[in-house]
Structure 1
Amino acid sequence: MNADPYRLANVPGLTRVENTDLQQLMARCAELTRPAYPHQQVYGRYCTIQEYVDCPPELAYEYLRQGHHLEEWTFSLRDFAPTGTPGLWAGDDRLEEKTRIYCKVVANAEAMTVDFHCSWDQSDKLWMVYLMRVVPAQLVFDKPGSVITWTNCRHPYYDRNPYPDLSPRADRPWVGDYWDLFYAGHTVEMANLKAILEHRHQRGLPVSSSPRATVTR
């Protein structure tokens, strides 16, 4: 007798070899595979991009985990300086005039993950979380270099500004207004990241740069 201690047979909607044959699986996969997909369906709740970079993963991770490099590869984050809170930095997001952005880097060297916890206007709740991971390309592509992934989840605050009174002006657009452009915008920034890492590595230059002199804000 095949015991089912977790009673999976009672869980509705599971597709497993126990209840689905190969032909049924192929038919289901065909239903889920389309020649084109609506943007909202693909990027409505999550935005994930990835890129191969001809740079050793250890160097790519070391570069990403140092938050001051955001000023190099992002389109608009500039002038970061440490705040009075350990690990928290403040800078300007020049995407919108007079917009302050706060950022804390949470990194794990063993997994080579680098998460940027950010927010506009205030630092009490860092709700804009950019999840990045460096994967050795040797592991997945059987060649030197890195694969870098980057995921954003659509936090409810993207749809409404929870701190409208902190906006520098009443007519300033909200960061969530740009959500439909996240895939395109992050692709541009990933291309910047790739270009910087490959340019320095291929020329034998130090991949990471020293942080500029900053003044605590």
Structure 2
Amino acid sequence: MSADQSVLADIPGLTRVENTGPEQLTARCAELTRPAYPHGEVYGTYCTIQEYVDCPPAQTYAYLRQGHHLEEWTFSLRNFEPTATPGLWVGDDRLAEQTRIFCRVEANAEAGTVDFHCSWDQGDELWMVYLMRVLPARSVLGRPGSVITWTNCRHPYYDANPHPGLAPRADRPWVGDYWDLFYAGHTLEMGNLKAILEHRHRNGLPVCSSPTTAVVR
């Protein structure tokens, strides 16, 4: 089915074969391709990382969707326990002393998505959203294993604590203070995730650990 060109005619700024020749396209793409990019331009609003993992996608997804595994592969999330709200868990974020983090896991097996909806200090508005997806490496890289993508979006609350009165102390650092380090920090955590999954898979060990309780919705 061909698009109705009249529907698009009044929309400015479109780059399509109808209004751009191959030479113009190549020149425009060259303008947008640079040997180096400022960190803030790449990771200022969105932070996306990705990694290949030598572990079958079904096992990789099963591991990610069980939220108690956050205590294994993240740098600082520990001691999760259920709250009175079904599906909502609370634990410690040792990145900052005496900081509680609330988390709900939303997973879709068909799409391979695992989203962690989190927030510091309170569980009523889970605005720190960690979007992850498991892809079969066979379909995207032509090899066995998994590809994991992980995206964060810079919610306005990263720039200002919406509930300063709930902080354990006035001088506690805020999670948004670390935004410029998200790429580096998440890359280290993705390295943890890769190491755990590959070690267990290659050694014939159960990939998923058995928790006392599981952070799973």
| TM-score, L = length of structure 2 | 0.96
User: Offset at 1:101?
Assistant: 0.0
Whether contact under 8 Å (2:81, 2:89) holds in the other structure is: yes
Does 1:102 find its partner at 2:102?
A: yes
Structure 1 residues 59-115: Cα deviation after superposition (integer angstroms, max 9, x where no partner): 000000000000000000000001111100000000000000000000001011000
One-letter amino acid matched to 2:38: P
Counterparts in 2 of 1:99 and 1:12: CA distance versus 1, 3 Å: same
Give, in whole Å, the separation in 2 of the partners of 1:125 and 1:25.
44
Give, in whole Å, the separation in 2 of the partners of 1:31 and 1:19.
18
Does 1:156 find its partner at 2:156?
A: yes
Q: What residue in structure 2 maps to residue 60 of structure 1? A: 60
Query: 3-state SS of the aligned residue for 1:7?
Result: helix
Q: What residue in structure 1 maps to residue 34 of structure 2? A: 34
Structure 1 residues 2-33: Cα deviation after superposition (integer angstroms, max 9, x where no partner): 99365211100000000000000000000000
One-letter amino acid matched to 2:89: W
Give, in whole Å, the separation in 2 of the partners of 1:167 and 1:123.
13
Give, in whole Å, the separation in 2 of the partners of 1:112 and 1:208.
17
Query: 3-state SS of the aligned residue for 2:182?
Result: helix
Q: What residue in structure 2 maps to residue 196 of structure 1? A: 196
Structure 1 residues 109-164: Cα deviation after superposition (integer angstroms, max 9, x where no partner): 10110000000000010000000000000001111000000000000000000000
Give, in whole Å, the separation in 2 of the partners of 1:114 and 1:138.
20
Does 1:8 find its partner at 2:8?
A: yes
- Unmatched segments (≥5 aa) in structure 1: none
One-letter amino acid matched to 1:161: N
Whether contact under 8 Å (2:127, 2:155) holds in the other structure is: yes
Give, in whole Å, the separation in 2 of the partners of 1:79 and 1:191.
21
Q: What residue in structure 2 maps to residue 82 of structure 1? A: 82
User: Offset at 1:212?
Assistant: 2.8
Query: 3-state SS of the aligned residue for 2:9?
Result: helix
Whether contact under 8 Å (2:68, 2:213) holds in the other structure is: no
RMSD value, Cα: 1.3
Q: What residue in structure 1 maps to residue 72 of structure 2? A: 72
One-letter amino acid matched to 2:208: S
One-letter amino acid matched to 1:41: E
Give, in whole Å, the separation in 2 of the partners of 1:27 and 1:9.
23
Q: What residue in structure 2 maps to residue 175 of structure 1? A: 175
Give, in whole Å, the separation in 1 of the partners of 2:6 and 2:107.
36
Once superposed, which parts of structure 1, at least 4 consecutive aligned residues long, lie more than 6 Å away?
none
Query: 3-state SS of the aligned residue for 2:207?
Result: coil
Query: 3-state SS of the aligned residue for 1:104?
Result: strand
Whether contact under 8 Å (2:46, 2:151) holds in the other structure is: yes
Counterparts in 2 of 1:92 and 1:10: CA distance versus 1, 3 Å: same
Query: 3-state SS of the aligned residue for 1:27?
Result: helix
Q: What residue in structure 2 maps to residue 208 of structure 1? A: 208
